[in-house]
């Protein structure tokens, strides 16, 4: 089968189309003919050699996919259109998926639209609701609001009856965040986001913070958090080393959690998938939730897709199309 491969870590140009063996599905696994996949920040890190896949994962890039079942299991049928998070292997013509991780694609949705959903929406749902315990009426701050996870999180907060605040680093990305339901959008290159959050919340701060940046935002995250706030770390794009203010953590009774979906145990991911599917699929079907696609590239143009993500040009998801 055709797949994106690279011989050594490096810049986007190390990637090219090559041949790889078709994976063999195990018990309770589906074999999927992949029609579309999507680029995630983890793919760019893995390509550079900074984020090795789990030992039991495919070495091929790609953490989500949308396609057609060619080998069925777990109640699915050959020909079913499904989307799923995977631990690797999405940048290829065929991939295996645990049946418990697969979700049916709504009839009105294209494969490209479906490929923009699994990784970002499941990551946002896991952190906002399972770990962050966001309740109706609470306020959540979403950093990198125009990113894939950011655009998903803003929509999920709104759908669950919460209030979303968002940060961006480019004023051109403010309108999309507001369109998706953010009550206020902060350009963190122009104003201090903690000051803006406190102004927006009457000095109380926010109950939940979803952060992709890491160390540079640490102290201001603590300032922006409300009493009993929950800080969810899902990335460290800005770095991992900084000063730690234990006083703020203890004084506000904060809960701080770090989690990546890729390394979450399978049983937990299956449970998450089923809970998310029940909440979200009716909302995707009627348009209350929608995948946000920045751009679409053919599989062979994966280097250009990675370059676009690493330049932080995307608003929403970057899709790779196989058919």
Give the pLDDT band (50/70/90) at residue 252.
very high
Would you say residue 77 has pLDDT above 70?
yes
CA–CA separation, 162 and 69 (whole Å): 36
Q: What architecture is domain 120-258?
A: 3-Layer(aba) Sandwich (3.40)
Q: What is residue 274's predicted lDDT score, i.e. its pLDDT?
A: 96
% of the chain with per-residue pLDDT over 70: 98
Domains 2-117+262-321 and 120-258 in one fold: no
Q: Between 199 and 243, where is the model more confident? A: 199
Per-residue pLDDT, averaged over 42-65, amounts to: 94
Closest CA relative to residue 119, chosen from 323, 299, 320: 320
pTM value is 0.95
Tokens in use for 213? Answer: 């940046």
Give the pLDDT band (50/70/90) at residue 239.
low
Would you say residue 135 has pLDDT above 90?
yes
Question: How many CB atoms are closer than 10 A to CB 163?
Answer: 21
What is 130-168 written as a DSSP string? IIT---TT-EEEESSTTSHHHHHHHHHHHHTT-EEEEEE
Give the pLDDT band (50/70/90) at residue 238.
low
Q: Is 244 exposed, middle or buried (0-12, 13-18, 19+ CB in 10 A)?
A: exposed
CA–CA separation, 207 and 127 (whole Å): 13
Would you say residue 128 has pLDDT above 90?
yes
Would you say residue 242 has pLDDT above 80?
no
Superfamily of domain 2-117+262-321: Medium-chain alcohol dehydrogenases, catalytic domain (3.90.180.10)
Tokens in use for 234? Answer: 């899902």
Per-residue pLDDT, averaged over 290-316, amounts to: 96
The residue ranges of every structural domain in the chain are: 2-117+262-321, 120-258
CA–CA separation, 184 and 170 (whole Å): 14
Per-residue pLDDT, averaged over 209-237, amounts to: 91
Q: What is the mean pLDDT of the chain?
A: 95
pLDDT digits (tens, 9 = 90+) for 153-172: 999 999 999 999 999 998 99
């Amino acid at each position: 089968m055709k797949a994106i491969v690279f011989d050594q870590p490096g810049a986007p140009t190390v990637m090219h189309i090559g041949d790889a063996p078709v994976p063999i599905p195990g018990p309770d696994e589906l074999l999927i003919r992949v029609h579309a996949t999507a680029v995630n920040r983890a793919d760019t890190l893995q390509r550079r050699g900074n984020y090795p896949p789990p030992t039991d994962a495919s070495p091929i890039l790609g953490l989500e996919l949308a396609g057609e079942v060619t080998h069925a299991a777990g109640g699915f049928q050959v020909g079913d259109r499904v989307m799923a998070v995977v631990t690797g292997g999405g940048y290829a013509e065929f991939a295996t998926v645990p049946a418990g991780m697969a979700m049916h694609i709504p009839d009105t949705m294209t494969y490209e639209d479906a490929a923009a959903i699994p990784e970002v929406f499941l990551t946002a749902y896991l952190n906002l609701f399972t770990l962050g315990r966001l309740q109706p009426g609470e306020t959540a701050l979403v950093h990198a609001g125009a990113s894939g996870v950011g655009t998903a999180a803003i929509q999920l907060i709104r759908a669950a009856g919460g209030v979303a605040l968002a940060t961006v680093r480019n004023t051109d990305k403010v309108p999309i965040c507001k369109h998706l339901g953010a009550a206020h959008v902060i350009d963190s290159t122009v104003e201090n986001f903690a000051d803006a959050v406190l102004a927006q919340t009457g000095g109380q701060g926010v109950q939940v913070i979803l952060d992709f940046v890491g160390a540079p935002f640490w102290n201001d995250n603590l300032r922006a958090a409300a009493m009993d706030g929950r800080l969810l770390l899902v990335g460290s794009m800005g770095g991992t080393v900084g000063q730690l203010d234990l006083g703020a953590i203890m004084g506000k009774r904060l809960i701080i959690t770090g989690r990546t979906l890729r390394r979450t145990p399978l049983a937990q991911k299956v449970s998450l998938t089923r809970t998310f599917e029940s909440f979200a699929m009716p909302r995707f079907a009627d348009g209350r939730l929608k995948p946000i696609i920045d751009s679409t590239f053919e599989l062979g143009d994966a280097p250009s897709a990675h370059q676009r993500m690493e330049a932080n040009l995307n608003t929403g998801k970057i899709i790779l199309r196989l058919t």
